[in-house]
């Protein structure tokens, strides 16, 4: 599974994206059949479709089950039903990028292994002058083919996707009980190169802040509020949602989005807190990215964090091991560990603290179970990596591992990011019921 997916945070040929893996192969553990059976039972019993089209309404939300885990599968994924007739596809839900795309039989020049047959495109092309196309390109982009919108996405792990933008039907069940089938734009990716974080998926679900993201498109059609959120279970699975009807806002810790970093979900400057105490590691540029399996700290902050860990582990029955390559830093005990519960007593909580007003602070708490994994060899490994070595420069990234067992909400209307501890093992059945 390597080091997981990484935020791209770089400007490439025509699109700014995060390093959600460019759909590809090699996670362990299959596709979570037991999880899917459990979710299908819930979906069929509590979400009866009333019609294929509904009048625009913003008092309802869309909730989608998530599958997978940080380890050993290496990623979370969501099933979307797309096309006419509707077909299932497994996508990487990525809050770090806008573009949703599928591996596409257009025909496919180069495609990677995927769990479903490649998407067969229709002829409903998005023209180059469309605002959605413009949102994916630089301002000085020249239309070589006015009748279509070409795109190229390059990921920080070396993966890429080349394709064309088109419209097709997406099928969603609303929390109101209605079924909708809006026409939304997506990429037909006909030329893919796998990167180091190669995962066996059909494509990427772009959940970023831009006009081309799925939640922005749904909002512009009057179907949901421009809010996206997720709840990743540490046991595997969880759920993803569009709209604001599945949580109680008064029970969420909110902090403003950074206005000087409009391309990504960032809280701006943060401070590292370790064991409840300040570390002096401040002014950290922090980004939330569900397209990254692990969390990352810039080199200076990472080294400071490792020093604090080593000081805390001094005298504890753990020793660093060099024969476990699951992650860059692993420790062994006297005997193999079976669960995080065996070792979390040796590790302290840490947190990222953000200014939330004139004097108040909002803290994103990260307990040991949200930054450690138990490897297949029985070692305990650190799920916080050196972001500078990974190509993220000075970015500090909160990835999936540190967002487990929390509801994390990106409210694009109020320009805030929120979080709260939550039971991500069970889906919300009605408004405000999951906290």
Catalytic residues: 94, 289
Calculate the CA dihedral of residues 274, 280, 286, 289 and round it to 10 degrees: -20
Dist. CA 306–CA 406, nearest whole Å? 25
Cis before 161? omega within 30: no
DSSP conformation letters of 50-100: --S-----SS--EEEEEEEETTTT-EEEEEEEETTTTEEEEEEEETT----
| CB distance 417 to 267 below 8 Å | yes
How many other C-beta atoms are found inside a 10 Å radius of the C-beta of residue 310?
Answer: 11
Residues present in the chain in total = 435
Which run of H or of E encompasses 44? helix 33-46
Dist. CA 189–CA 43, nearest whole Å? 30
Is residue 299 packed enough to be buried (19+ CB in 10 Å), middle (13-18) or exposed (0-12)?
middle
As given in the structure block, the two tokens for residue 66 are 């998530």
How many other C-beta atoms are found inside a 10 Å radius of the C-beta of residue 176?
Answer: 15
The vertex-184 CA angle with 196 and 220, nearest 5°, equals 115
Which run of H or of E encompasses 400? helix 400-403
| CB distance 271 to 352 below 8 Å | yes
DSSP 102: E
DSSP 38: H
DSSP conformation letters of 348-410: --EEEEEE-SSS-EEEEEE-GGGTEEE-TTS-EEE-EEETTTTT-TT-EEE-HHHHBTEEEEE
Dist. CA 76–CA 5, nearest whole Å? 11
As given in the structure block, the two tokens for residue 36 are 């899917």
Dist. CA 341–CA 368, nearest whole Å? 9
Q: What sign does the CA torsion over 172, 175, 179, 183 have?
A: negative
CA distances in angstroms from 298 to 270, 304, 390, listed in the order given: 13, 10, 9
Q: What share of the chain is helix, strand, coil (3-state, %, to 5)?
A: 15, 35, 55
């Amino acid at each position: 599974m390597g080091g997981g997916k990484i935020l791209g945070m770089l400007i490439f040929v025509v699109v700014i994206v995060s390093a959600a893996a460019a759909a590809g192969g090699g996670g362990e553990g299959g596709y979570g059949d037991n999880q899917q059976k459990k979710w299908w039972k819930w979906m069929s019993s509590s979400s009866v479709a009333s019609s294929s089209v509904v009048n625009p309404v913003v008092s309802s939300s869309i909730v989608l089950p998530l599958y997978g885990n940080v380890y050993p599968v290496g990623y979370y994924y969501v099933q979307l039903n797309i096309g006419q007739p509707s077909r299932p596809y497994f996508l990487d839900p990525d809050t770090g990028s806008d573009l949703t795309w599928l591996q596409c039989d257009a025909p496919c020049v180069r495609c990677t292994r995927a769990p479903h047959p490649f998407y067969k495109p229709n002829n409903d092309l998005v023209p180059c002058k469309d605002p959605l196309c413009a949102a994916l390109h630089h301002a000085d982009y020249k239309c070589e083919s006015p009748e279509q919108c070409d795109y190229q996405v390059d990921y920080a792990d070396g993966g890429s996707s080349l394709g064309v933008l088109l419209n097709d039907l997406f099928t969603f069940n609303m929390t109101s009980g209605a079924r909708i089938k809006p026409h939304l734009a997506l990429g037909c990716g006909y030329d893919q190169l796998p990167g180091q974080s190669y995962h066996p998926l059909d494509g990427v679900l772009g959940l970023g802040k831009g006009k081309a993201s799925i939640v922005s498109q749904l909002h512009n059609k009057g179907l949901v509020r421009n809010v996206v959120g997720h709840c990743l279970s540490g046991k595997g699975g969880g759920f993803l949602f569009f709209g604001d009807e599945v949580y109680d806002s008064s029970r969420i810790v909110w902090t403003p989005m950074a206005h000087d970093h409009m391309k990504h979900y960032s809280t701006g400057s943060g401070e590292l807190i370790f064991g409840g105490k300040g570390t002096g590691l401040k002014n950290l540029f922090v980004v939330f990215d569900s397209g990254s399996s692990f969390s990352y700290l810039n080199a200076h902050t990472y080294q400071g964090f490792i020093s604090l860990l080593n000081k805390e582990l001094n005298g504890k029955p753990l020793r660093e091991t060099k024969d476990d390559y699951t992650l860059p830093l692993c420790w062994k005990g006297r005997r193999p560990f079976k669960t995080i519960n065996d070792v979390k007593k040796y590790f302290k909580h840490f947190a990222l603290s953000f200014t939330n007003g004139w004097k108040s602070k909002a803290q994103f708490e990260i307990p040991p179970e949200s930054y450690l994994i138990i490897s297949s060899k029985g070692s305990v490994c650190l799920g916080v990596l050196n972001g500078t070595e990974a190509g993220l420069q000075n970015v500090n990234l909160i990835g999936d591992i540190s967002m487990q067992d929390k509801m994390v909400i990106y409210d694009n209307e109020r320009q805030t990011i929120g979080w709260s501890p939550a039971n991500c093992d069970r889906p919300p059945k009605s408004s405000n019921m999951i906290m």
